[in-house]
Amino acid sequence: MAATLTDPVDGAEVEGAGAKLARTTRSYWAILRRHRVILFVTMALCLLAALLYILLSTPDYRATASVEVEDLPAGAAGTGTPRPATDDIETVMQTELEVLRSRALAEEVARSLALVGTPTFFNGMGVSRPKDGAGGLSQRQVEQEAVIALLRDHLEVQLPGKSRVIRISFVSADPALSARVANGYADSLIRSDLKRGFESGVQARRFLLGELDGARRDLSRAERDLAVYAARSGGVPVEPAADADKAGVTKEGGAQETKPEEPKFAPSEGSIETRLAQLNGFRAQAVSDRIAAQKRWESARRASAETLPEVLNNGAMQALMTERAQARAALVEERQFRKDAHPEMREARARLAALDDQAEEMANRIRASLKEQYDVAVHGEKQIGSEITALERDAQAARGRDVQMGIYERSVDTYRMLHDSLLQRYRDMASQAGFQAGRIQPLDRAAVPARPFSPKVGETLFLAALGGLLLGLLLVVARHIFDDAVTSADTLAERVGLPLLGAVPVTGDNPQPSEIFTPIARSLLLASTGGLPRSILVTSAQEGEGKSLTLNALSRALAGLDKKVLVIDGDMRRPVQHALFRVPPGKGISEVLTGQAKPADAIIPTGVDGVSLLPCGAVPPNPTELLATPALDTLLAAVREDYDTILIDAPPILGLGDTPLLGARVQASLMVVEWGRNHHGGLRASVERLRRAGGVIIGAILTKQQGRALEYDYHRGG
């Protein structure tokens, strides 16, 4: 049995893709779980709005009538009109839909149902009836315009699929009114179709009558032309049949129209064609005889006379040749016994020569007779050809006359056929006038609806719940994209990808108890592979997030862990560390960086064991230029060996260039983030700016926590 081997690389890729999908799913679920209140509130509000809409809306009733559009157009019943093409049917159906939506049909419905002038229709529609005129219109005209507008706005027409059925629906607050108007629309559409059919029939009959008069005049003119030509060319006209149809139709003016008679003409004589056919037969026979005679003469002229079939078949010639053969045999026999000089030998030779001369003479006569036969055949062929040529000229002239006669006769037949067709069509339309079947036929009458059409409770609530869910998801996505507010370790990791070192309730302007920051201080002991970083920058995205208080309390907590800490007040724009340690300000980092003092002279004790302070000193006019000098690196190198770690209080990152300069020179940076703040991307921008400057951010401290700041879940990694 063969073993199935799996590529470890492919397996790792599949496992990596699966793990990535699982992590992505967990992160999305965490986002939804964290913002579940938004989803629930949004859905609840949408459902409440839908419920209020259902309770406050007026029930509407929809009644539906249906009609069928047949194949044949109005007024064409029984005429054999073919079924229209599919494209034509679709055009017809769309045309009927537009007729239903037209203002003219709405006016017809309003007039037939007497909707104008009574408050019934307006009460059923749930609107107020116009009381006064407006814009130069009377009150009745304004009311009529309102009725037409309501009819057109609440009318619904549908064409199910590719069927020939049109559904006519009307929606109102009164079920009886809905059924009444729907049936009124169906009846008005049918009446409109019948009216159009009748009017089109009248117009068609008038048109056919005019065409019939023109066809009669054309037929009369063609018959006159045929009679004139027949008289000139010698044709004999034939009287029309005795049972010809002479029935006419009565014009609208009362005149009787008589069907014109068709003159007939006797066919031309066929003697020329008959004689020509006979001569063509004779010429064919003459040509055949001439060819045979020519072949016999050619053979007789070129071949030996003795080999000619006529010579061989001649009895006298055969007897002469037999006698000559006998004389030649006797001469041969005598030559065996006698010499040539013998008298009998000379006599035998003379007799043989006489027989040869007779045979040659007879053969020449036979050849001459063959020549004479050939000459006779050639002469006969030429004579027949000349007669045929003369007859062909006569036949061509006769054919010309017959062709012209045929042209006139076909013209007469064409006009007569057109005249008869128009006459028959006019008779059919006249006999069907007044009772043609319409194109549109009623199918279903609208019944009074028993239940309201809207509002639909189930569908409305479902759509409201679905819309609330979608709206809630959009709000969650928008909040997740545009909101940097941090309220837990998860949100911190999602926003800027930083671990949360701890959350503390830093408030007010006084130093915080160091016991609160002891867990955070212990976490800093494990922040790098070498333990506690030798230099740590403490900053925040914006001012007022509690970074200075956090640094002060953190230095005290590290001192409580037997660590020697140097605090540098790097916020040279608003220094506060000397006030927090309650020490008088003196020389500080400004004097050290400008070379006015040495680090040992500027560092002062804080009253806290293990904590020393390098205050700001004099506030420089441009701290950014001062921090950009190499003197800062010299300062950090000079004091690094005397302390376990250096804590630098840096100004906020946004809007200032001091912190990126400081972050590039320390081993680690620590972000202080206020709970629920930074709603517009400030935290992301700050972290990205510090990282682009070369700063290494080891984590963040959440300050001013409120409520459940830490939604810790062991399985999600806290």
Cα 311–312–313 angle (5° rounding)? 90
pLDDT tens digits, 93-114: 888 889 999 999 999 999 999 9
Collect all residues with Cβ–Cβ distance below 8 Å to 477 and sequence separation of at least 6.
none
Residue 362's Cβ-count burial label (10 Å; 0-12, 13-18, 19+) is middle
User: What would the pLDDT profile of 418-460 be if each residue is shown by its tens digit?
Assistant: 888 888 877 776 666 555 556 888 889 999 998 887 787 888 8
Cα 671 to Cα 254, 503, 508, 663, 686: the distances in Å are 111, 12, 19, 11, 10
C-beta separation of 422 from 209 below 8 A: no
Give residues with Cβ within 8 angstroms of 451, minimum separation 6: 61
CB 393 within 8 A of CB 234: no
Cβ-Cβ contacts under 8 Å for 638 (sequence gap 6 or more): 599
pLDDT tens, residue by residue, 75-86: 444 444 444 555
Instruction: Give every CB contact of residue 464 below 8 A, 6+ residues apart in sequence.
Output: 46, 47, 49, 50
Is 604's pLDDT higher than 60?
yes
- Res. 49 pLDDT band, cuts 50 70 90: very high
Phi/psi class of residue 669: alpha, beta or left (left: φ > 0; alpha: ψ in -120 to 50)?
beta
The owner of tokens 């009164």 is: 174
Q: What is the pLDDT of residue 508?
A: 60
Q: Where residue 234 falls among pLDDT bands split at 50, 70, 90? A: low
Amino acid at 617: G
Residue 700 CA from chain centroid, whole number: 55
Ranked by mean pLDDT, the top range of 34-43, 506-515, 603-612 is 603-612
Nearest Cα to Cα of residue 546 among 512, 570, 583: 512
449 closest CA partner among 62, 19, 54: 62
Residue 668's H or E segment, with its range, is strand 668-674
690 CB-contact burial (10 Å; exposed 0-12 / middle 13-18 / buried 19+): buried
pLDDT for position 176: 92
Write out the DSSP string of 244-279. -----EE-TTSPEEPPPP--EEPPPP-HHHHHHHHH
- Rounded Cα distance between 294 and 305, Å, is 17
Question: pLDDT band at 244, cuts 50/70/90?
Answer: very low
More reliable by pLDDT, 231 or 247:
231
State the DSSP code for 132. S
Please state the rounded mean pLDDT for residues 41-57.
Answer: 88
Q: How far apart are CA 551 and CA 672, in angstroms?
A: 9
Residue 445 has phi, psi (to 5 degrees) of -85, 150
Among 237-241, 463-467, 638-642, which stretch is predicted with the lowest mean pLDDT? 237-241
Tell me: pLDDT of 683 over 90: no
SS3 697: strand
Please provide the size of the chain in residues.
718
pTM over 0.85: no
Q: Which residue has the tokens 């913002």?
A: 35
Q: Say how many Å lie between the first and final Cα of the chain, rounded.
A: 49
The mean predicted confidence, pLDDT, of the chain is 79
